[in-house]
């Protein structure tokens, strides 16, 4: 097993501000403060990052593929300006009624990530902002992490605690920056414990 360090990120509510009416154009894609810098920090520490996102707006006819591609090009340009990058964006274009295997909370997208990158999902943190996505992480065998920057932002500490109880092993963080800090500290602790591999 090789040791590609890979993290799977949700998009809306984690990298950019969540909109109930879907992000339909680059102009509607607004980064959450500190999120792009967090990806760059992970990249600089040797982590690869991919996005796995439900985009049912495509299946509902609210947005077409050209607009989705334009949004992701815009996202990548902003990320590049911060010194960061995403290796890929995986998305499910289906509506809940389509009965696909890729729409979270089903694990199809994460399994596609594992196949493409040859990783063991047990060693892949997945960053979520909803219970549905935490359940997707659990179903795929990923390490589940909740950030309170998107749809979880309005929850009380008690509501977050109850959500985490439903997904054993899940950890909560204020935002993507706090998640990055957690992962990098853990990396450093692992290095200290096992010694440098150089």
Which pLDDT score is estimated for 3?
A: 72
Tell me the pLDDT of the chain (198 aa) as tens digits. 457 899 999 999 999 999 999 999 999 999 999 999 999 999 999 999 999 999 999 999 999 999 999 999 999 999 999 999 999 999 999 999 999 999 999 999 999 999 999 999 999 999 999 999 999 999 999 999 999 999 999 999 999 999 999 999 999 999 999 999 999 999 998 877 765 544
| Contact by Cβ (8 Å): 118, 2 | yes
Say which CATH number the domain at 49 has. 3.40.50.1000
Which pLDDT score is estimated for 190?
A: 81
**Cα torsion through 188, 170, 9, 15, rounded to 10:** -90
Which pLDDT score is estimated for 194?
A: 67
- For residue 77, give the 3-state DSSP assignment: helix
**What is the tally of structural domains in the chain?**
1
DSSP letters, 3-65, are: --EEEEE-SBTTTB---TT---SGGG--BPTTHHHHHHHHHHTTEEEEEEEE-HHHHTTSS-H
Reported for 74-81, long-range contacts at CB under 8 A and 24+ positions apart, including other chains, are 74/26, 74/29, 75/11, 75/15, 75/16, 75/29, 75/31, 78/31, 78/36, 79/36, 79/39, 79/40, 81/36
Strand order in the sheet with 47-54: 88-92, 47-54, 5-9, 125-128, 143-147, 171-173
Which pLDDT score is estimated for 191?
A: 79
DSSP letters, 156-184, are: -HHHHHHHHHHSTT-EEESSHHHHHHHHH
Whole domain around residue 67: which residue ranges? 5-194
């Amino acid at each position: 097993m090789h040791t590609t360090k890979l993290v799977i990120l949700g998009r809306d509510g984690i990298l950019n501000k969540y909109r109930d009416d879907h992000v339909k154009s680059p102009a509607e894609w607004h980064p959450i403060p500190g999120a792009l810098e967090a990806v760059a920090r992970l990249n600089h520490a040797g982590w690869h990052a991919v996005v796995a996102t439900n985009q049912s707006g495509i299946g509902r006819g609210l947005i077409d593929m050209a607009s989705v591609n334009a949004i992701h090009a815009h996202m990548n340009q902003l990320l590049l300006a911060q010194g960061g990058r995403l290796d890929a964006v995986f998305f499910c274009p289906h509506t809940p009624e389509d009965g696909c295997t890729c729409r979270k909370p089903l694990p199809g997208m994460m399994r596609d990530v594992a196949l493409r990158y040859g990783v063991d999902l047990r060693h892949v943190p997945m960053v979520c902002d909803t219970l549905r996505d935490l359940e997707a992480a659990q179903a795929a065998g990923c390490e589940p992490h909740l950030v309170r920057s998107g749809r979880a932002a309005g929850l009380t500490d008690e509501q977050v605690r109850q959500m985490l109880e439903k997904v054993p092993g899940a950890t909560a963080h204020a935002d993507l920056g706090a998640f990055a800090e957690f992962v990098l500290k853990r990396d450093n602790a692992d290095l200290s414990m096992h010694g440098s591999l150089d």
